[in-house]
Structure 1
Amino acid sequence: MKKIIPFLLALFLFSCASRKDVVYYQGIDGISPQEKSATYEIKMQPDDLLMIIVSAEDPEIAVPFNLSSISVQSRGNMEAAIGQQTMQMYLVDANGTIEFPVLGRVKVSGLSRSEVLGMLREKIGVYIKNPIINLRIMNFKVSVQGEVTVPGTYNIDSERITLIEALSKAGDLTIYGKRNNILIIREIDGLKSYNRVDITNAEFINSPFYYLAQNDVVYVEPNKSKINGAAVGSNTGVIISISSLLITLITLIITTTK
């Protein structure tokens, strides 16, 4: 029995996680506050689906610069078909371009939203005085995998999301998630990059990966406890709890028998 005690004690101690492995934003009190948050704008990429609407003081002169609406038929619960007006959108092709009315093929890949707007205002300004242009990415999404509560792909309503916001959408990391080595897979102009982020270190707030780009994949690696526990089975937590209880009982028995 005495040989079992060290083994059970080691198992119990191994299951304990230290503060530095779990707590976020460590050292944040030592970081000087920025006078102004750095502006961040995502870059347009192939396969982005863009909604671009051109307006003017005279609505008629803006019509040629907008894609026409189409009528979509929908049915439900045996009801008669209802016509709905749907605005067509621009798909950025593999070459990073869109086919824009009047202007023809326009290169947008690699440009920020403000840069695309500036370019379109300049080109359309030849035909329309002070055009008003609205642009939005309609298929902005990020995927969160690994040791999070609710892994999945999440559609983003805005055009800016932080890593912490994405993890929060996924229900945050489980206790088994490796917080100091989160992988972010990002593709820019067909080239993939693989980047590691430590969210236990508050310095990551100034990282270029604090803000996510469209189609980023966030992977949370399991820690050693989860990996080793997988070899034991899905009941590792129960086994550890029982082991700690046994340690207590065995210690009491040894103490009372002396």
Structure 2
Amino acid sequence: MKTATINKSILIVLLIFLTTSCKTRKDVVYFQNVKNFETMVDTETFNAKLKVGDILSIYVSTLVPSAAEPYNLVMKSGSNSQLIDYLIDVDGNIDFPVLGKIKLLGLTLEEAKQLLKKKFADGNLLKDPVIIIRLKNYRVTVAGEVRSPGVYPASGERMTILEAIGLAGDLTIKGRRDNVLVIRDFNGTKTYTRIDLTSKELFNSPVYFLTQNDFVYVEPNNSAVSGASGDSRINTLITITSFLITTALIFVTRN
């Protein structure tokens, strides 16, 4: 009778180990509530807004190239030369040639272009200038349970969280998909937003489109936390099973 009880205990330990080690489809599949042939209309008109600390490349051209030269300052290094960059200072301004201090904080790149054009027009400085502005520090950081954590630059003027995760090689099997954290800093104020990659509602999240210097963190799921010490679960199982088997053998030997 006691031998049967010990054998039953061994079986229970094995079942507990298996049920806590296995991952289900619900844990790892993205967009689980999307239906076949379902249509979602994208009404998002996201444009990154300029922040303190942003670095801009600004190029001005006109039909008369010499007229634009004072606004295209060049930094020379040996035989090489390149346009200087502009840093948005703590007051939200850049210091632009001739025009002086210009407040760009909170503007989109298009709005910044229009503001510069207006200042050129108001001062009768340039006629119909073409202005090209590039945000040079548009990058995001992806960390935690992804295959390739790191800092990733945006190839264009915006990046979605799905693109960022793709650049990081996707989540590992140990990454928690229903509670991904995005930390955003806007001029010293940090916001913390969590999204669920298993739901289509992520497309409506305010952090679906990432802004420059966003930090994306994928936390470990329960199986990863439980196995944080490597093979601790297996070692524990072996220890418990060995103890039960040893106890059973002692009991059988004595009887």
Most deviating of 83-92 and 176-185: 83-92
Instruction: Provide the secondary structure at the position in 1 that maps to 2:67.
Output: helix
The answer to whether the 8 A contact 2:177-2:197 is kept is yes
Whole-Å separation in 1 of the counterparts to 2:217 and 2:225: 15
Structure 2 letter corresponding to 1:163: I
Whole-Å separation in 2 of the counterparts to 1:199 and 1:25: 6
The answer to whether the 8 A contact 2:72-2:83 is kept is no
Q: 1:162 aligns with which of 155, 160, 163?
A: 160
Structure 1 letter corresponding to 2:147: T
2:3 match: none
Say if 2:184 is the partner of 1:177.
no
The answer to whether the 8 A contact 1:149-1:171 is kept is yes
Q: Report deviation, 1:13.
A: 0.8
1:33 match: 40
Whole-Å separation in 1 of the counterparts to 2:232 and 2:137: 40
Structure 2 letter corresponding to 1:120: L
2:190 match: 192
Q: 2:109 aligns with which of 104, 110, 113?
A: 113
Deviations 1:117-176 (CA, angstroms, capped at 9, x unpaired): 111111112321111000001121100110001111112221111101101111100001
C-alpha RMSD of matched pairs (Å): 2.0
Residue correspondence of structure 1 range 78-227 to structure 2 within 5 A = 83-126=79-122, 127-227=125-225
Whole-Å separation in 1 of the counterparts to 2:93 and 2:140: 22
Q: Report deviation, 1:32.
A: 4.1
2:251 match: none
Structure 2 letter corresponding to 1:86: Q
Structure 1 letter corresponding to 2:132: N
Q: Report deviation, 1:236.
A: 5.6
Residue correspondence of structure 1 range 15-26 to structure 2 within 5 A = 15-26=21-32
Whole-Å separation in 2 of the counterparts to 1:71 and 1:133: 22
1:61 match: 67
Q: Report deviation, 1:70.
A: 2.0
Q: Report deviation, 1:94.
A: 1.3
Instruction: Provide the secondary structure at the position in 1 that maps to 2:184.
Output: strand
Whole-Å separation in 2 of the counterparts to 1:220 and 1:177: 6
Deviations 1:101-124 (CA, angstroms, capped at 9, x unpaired): 111101111111111111111111
Identical pairs, percent: 42
The answer to whether the 8 A contact 1:148-1:173 is kept is yes
The answer to whether the 8 A contact 1:28-1:203 is kept is no
Whole-Å separation in 1 of the counterparts to 2:81 and 2:13: 70
1:255 match: none
Q: 1:72 aligns with which of 71, 77, 87?
A: 77
The answer to whether the 8 A contact 1:149-1:173 is kept is yes
Whole-Å separation in 2 of the counterparts to 1:113 and 1:6: 62
2:20 match: 14
Gaps of 5+ in 1: 74-82, 251-258
Structure 1 letter corresponding to 2:97: P
The answer to whether the 8 A contact 1:125-1:131 is kept is no
Instruction: Provide the secondary structure at the position in 1 that maps to 2:35.
Output: helix
Structure 1 letter corresponding to 2:158: R
Gaps of 5+ in 2: 1-6, 246-255
Matched length: 230
The answer to whether the 8 A contact 2:182-2:217 is kept is yes
What is the TM-score of this pair, normalised by structure 1?
0.84
Greater CA radius of gyration, 1 or 2? 2
